Amino acid sequence: MSQKYNLYADSAGQLQERGIGRQRALILVATKTAVSLEGEWLEAFWCDQCEQTKWYHVKKCDRTYEVSIASVELWQQASGVIHPAGNPSVGEFTRTQARMVGDNNSKYFR
């Protein structure tokens, strides 16, 4: 089973990159906080060879699909995903503590 996340655009430039005219792109962004991108999404697939989950940008083009590795910029346009580099509002100390297993992390609080 794979995970799938929809993409959205929050700037006219992102819409123009996808073939929407400048005027229409400006109107869409002005009237909506974010515009859902039809036929595009991020999806995770399991690789049997490397035994890891890999994320891809999938784009439906007529009857075919274009598949490429998901870029950081696309992650910022996805709804409902965890930031690939972790939550930017969490400090390095908290990240380190969260990764520690067992009682070793209690020594920092004595």
Q: What is the pLDDT of residues 82-104, one digit of tens each?
A: 555 666 666 777 767 776 665 55
Q: How high is the pLDDT of residue 1? A: 44
DSSP state of 33: S
The label of the residue with tokens 């699909």 reads: 65
The label of the residue with tokens 């792109």 reads: 25
pLDDT digits (tens, 9 = 90+) for 59-85: 888 889 999 998 877 877 776 555 556
The per-residue pLDDT of the chain, averaged, comes to 77
Highest averaged pLDDT of the listed ranges 21-25, 29-33, 59-63, 98-102: 21-25
Return the number of other C-beta atoms located less than 10 Å from residue 38's C-beta.
Answer: 10
Angle in degrees, CA 85, 73, 68, rounded to 5: 100
**Strand 35-47 with 4-9, pairing:** antiparallel
